[in-house]
Amino acid sequence: MTDVIVRIRGLAKSYRRGGQSVPVLEDLDLDIRSGDFLALMGPSGSGKSTLLNLIAGIDKPDRGTLEVEGVDITRLGESDLARWRASHVGFIFQFYNLLPVLTALENVELPLVLTSLGRRERRERAELALSMVGLSDRVKHYPSELSGGQQQRVAIARAIITDPTLLVADEPTGDLDRVSAGEILDLIGRLNSELGKTIIMVTHDQRAAERAHSIVNLEKGALVRAT
Amino acid sequence: MFLRLVLRNALRHKLRTALTVLGLVVAILAFGLLATVVDAWYAGAEGASATRLITRNAISLVFPLPTTYREKLRGVDGVTDITTSNWFGGVYITEKNFFPQFAVDGESYFRVYPEFVIRDAEYKSFMRNRKGAIVGRKLADTYGWKVGDVVPLRGTIYAGNWAFEVEAIYDGRDAKTDTSQFFFHWAYLNETVKRQMPRRADTVGVYIVNIADPGRAAELSMGIDEQFRNSLAETLTETEKAFQLGFVSMTEAIVVAIRVVSYLVIFIIMAVMANTMAMSARERLSEYATLKALGFLPRRIGSLVFGESLMIAAIGGSLGVALTFPVAAKFGQAMGSLFPVFNVSPETVLLQAACATTIAVVAAIVPAIKASRVRIAEGLRAVG
C-alpha cells in the first residue's frame, strides 16, 4: 500500500491548435501508491483526461518522465507500449467502448487474444470475470441487448481480465443514471478494496470522487490540490 | 476470434454488404464473359495446328488457286499431306443464319483435320453421296439437323439453289474444336461450276499443307511461295495460326474495346468497394482506437480491414466465377455460330480470381492505413 507504483516528474504536454501550441500539462509531479484509488478532478480543459491518457500509455508527453513500476513508459516505442498496455492497464471508458458485433463474453475475452492462452482457458477466464461483475446470465448477450450499467460491467470485466497493474477509468459513470452509477462505483470500489487494484479515475462528479481514497485537482494543467 | 470479428464486421451492415457483393458478382461475371468473348475471337487461332500451313493466292483470298498446284506442293520436301478448301458462302433460309460452309476434298480433308471426329459408317455414307454433307455437332444442334436431313443453301458466290444431304455429324476432339462448320464435296461444286462458269472450274480457295516438322514452317512456307513465283497465281503461305490471326486483326479494334470495357468494369467496382471499406473504417474508428488501447498492434488493426475486404471479395468473386459458366453457356448458345467455340478457360477463371483479389487489396489499402494509424485518444473521443 505504501509503494509508489506511478511516479511522474516534470510531465508536460501541449497540443497544436490553429498553428499554435496550447499547453495542457506543465511540469507536473505526482506519485501514486500501489493499491490507491485516486480521483482526478478539474474543470473541462484542465488536463485531467490528458494526464489519464499519459499514465495509461495511450498518449505521449512532450517532456518529463512517467514511471510505472519502475519502467519509464515515455521511452517505449509504439509496439512495446502496446504490449505494455495489454499487460499492465485495464481501461474503463465513459461510453463502455464494447465491440457491438461481439457478445459480452467475447468482448471480455478480447484482451486475452493477445496472450498465449488457449481458447478454452480464455473462455473460462472471461466467464469468471463476468461472474465477478454479476453478469453470468448475460454472457451471450450483445452490447445492444444490455443496459448502460450492464455494458459498463462488461467493460469492467474486460478491464480486469488480464489482471492489470492499473485500472484507468475515464468518467465511468458519466453516461449512467444515478442508480447504475452507484452500482458501478460500488463495483470499482470492491476491485480496489478486495482485489487491491490501483485505480485512477477521472470524474466531474463529486459524489463519485468521494469514493476514492485521494482526490487530485487539476487546473490549467497544474496540480492545484491533492487530498 | 480474429476471423469471427472479420466475418461479423463484414455482415454488420447487411444491405451495404449485400449490394457490394452484388456489384462484385456482376463485375466479375461481366469480366469473365468479356474475357471469354475475346478468347472466342481468338479460338480459331488457338485451335490451329502447328503442323498445318495455308497456301492461298498472294493477291487476295478471294482469288482461287489452280488444282494443278497440288502435285507440285506434294513434291516439296517436308510436306506429308495436302488437302483443299473452298469458301462457299451460301445462305440458309435467311442471311442471319450465318455459318461457315466449305467445299472440301473429303478424302484428304478429314485426314489433315483429325480433330473433326466422325463415325466410320457416317463418313463412308458421306463419301458415297456426291451431295452429302458433314456438319458440326453445334451447328446440327442449332438448326435441329440430323443425319438424312436435306439442307438447302442459296449460293451467293456460286449462284443457284443448292441442296445437301446431311450424311454425318462430326464432334470435336476437344473443347477448342469448332463444331459449327458445314462441309460438302468440292467435286460436286466443281461439276456445277464447270457447267455454269467454266472459267472458275478446277480451282480451289486454299491448300492446307501438312508438314512433318513445325520447326521448318517458315522455311517451307518460303520454299512453297518461291516455287510459284512469277506464275499466273503467286502464292502466300503461312501457318494456320497466322492465317487465322489475319482474320482477327481485321476486327482488332473491337477486341481492344472489349478489353478496355472489361477492365473499366473492374476499375468501377474497385472504386465502389473502396468507398464501402472507407465508410466502414470511418464508422469504426472508435473501435479501432479501443482495440489499440487494449494492446492490439497497428498491423493487426489493418489486417481486420484487409480481412473484411478480402472476405467480401471472396464471396462476390466466387459467386461471379460460379455464375460465369452457366451464363457463358447460355450466351454461347444465343450467339449460335458467331462464336463457334465459347468456353470459359481456366486462364479466365484465374484472371477473375486475380481481379477479385486486387479489388479487395486495393480497396482496403487506404482504409487499413487510416485504421491502423488512428490516434487512440482521438479515436476514443469519436464515441458519443
Query: Which CATH number covers residue A192?
Result: 3.40.50.300
Task: Give domain status of residue A198, yes or no.
Answer: yes
Q: Are residues B259 and B278 in the same domain?
A: yes
Q: Which residue from B minimizes the CA distance to A115?
A: B295
Which stretches of B205-312 are assigned E, i.e. beta strand? Answer: 206-211, 235-239
pLDDT bracket for residue A178 (50, 70, 90): confident
- Which pLDDT score, from 0 to 100, does residue A54 have? 94
Tell whether A99 is within 8 A of chain B (Cβ): yes
Q: Are residues B169 and B304 in the same domain?
A: no
Total domains, chain A: 1
Report the gap between the CA of A86 and the closest CA in chain B (Å).
4
Yes or no: say if A221 and A48 are a contact pair by the CB < 8 Å rule: no
Q: Which residues of B touch A100 (CB under 8 A)?
A: 12
Nearest CA to B23 among B273, B261, B352, B262? B273
Sign of CA dihedral B34, B38, B43, B49: negative
A141: pLDDT strictly greater than 90: yes
Yes or no: say if B347 and B45 are a contact pair by the CB < 8 Å rule: no
- Which pLDDT score, from 0 to 100, does residue B343 have? 86
CB contact under 8 A, A106 and B384: no
Q: Which residues of B touch A58 (CB under 8 A)?
A: 292-293, 376-377, 380
CB contact under 8 A, A99 and B2: no
Q: Are residues B26 and B175 in the same domain?
A: no
Q: What angle is formed at CA B9 by the lines to CA B3 and CA B10, rounded to 5 degrees?
A: 90
Nearest CA to B221 among B45, B49, B51? B51
Task: Give domain status of residue B271, yes or no.
Answer: yes
Total domains, chain B: 2
Q: What ipTM score was computed for the predicted complex, to two decimals?
A: 0.92
Which residues span the domain enclosing B194? Answer: 52-212
Q: What is the pLDDT of residues B182-233, one digit of tens each?
A: 999 999 999 989 988 888 889 999 999 999 898 998 999 999 999 999 888 9
Sign of CA dihedral A154, A158, A160, A166: negative
CA–CA separation, B180 and A162 (whole Å): 72
Task: Give domain status of residue A140, yes or no.
Answer: yes
- Which pLDDT score, from 0 to 100, does residue B384 have? 35
| Mutation site for B-interface testing, chosen from A24, A58, A117 by largest number of B Cβ within 10 Å | A58
- Which pLDDT score, from 0 to 100, does residue A227 have? 64
CB neighbours of B286 closer than 8 A, spacing ≥ 6? A97, B379, B380, B382, B383
- Which pLDDT score, from 0 to 100, does residue B382 have? 60
- Which pLDDT score, from 0 to 100, does residue A174 have? 86
Q: What is the pLDDT of residues A204-227, one digit of tens each?
A: 888 889 989 999 998 887 888 666
Which residues span the domain enclosing A40? Answer: 35-57+76-226
pLDDT in tens, chain B (384 residues): 888 899 999 998 899 999 999 999 999 999 999 999 988 888 777 777 888 999 999 998 889 999 999 999 988 889 999 999 999 999 999 988 889 999 999 999 999 999 999 999 999 999 999 999 999 999 999 899 999 999 999 999 988 899 999 999 999 998 888 899 999 999 999 998 998 888 888 999 999 999 989 899 899 999 999 999 988 899 999 999 888 888 777 778 888 999 999 999 999 999 999 999 999 999 999 999 999 999 999 999 999 999 999 999 999 999 999 999 999 999 888 877 677 778 899 999 999 999 999 999 999 999 999 999 999 988 887 643
CB contact under 8 A, B292 and A175: no
Q: Are residues B58 and B145 in the same domain?
A: yes
Q: What is the pLDDT of residues B292-327, one digit of tens each?
A: 999 999 999 999 999 999 999 999 999 999 999 999
Instruction: Using CA atoms of A137, A139, A142, A148 in order, give the dihedral in degrees to the nearest 10.
Output: 60
CA atoms within 13 A on the CB side of A57: 31
Of A101, A111, A119, the CB nearest to B294: A111
Q: Are residues B102 and B152 in the same domain?
A: yes
- CA dist list (Å): A192 to A68, A130, B217: 18, 17, 90
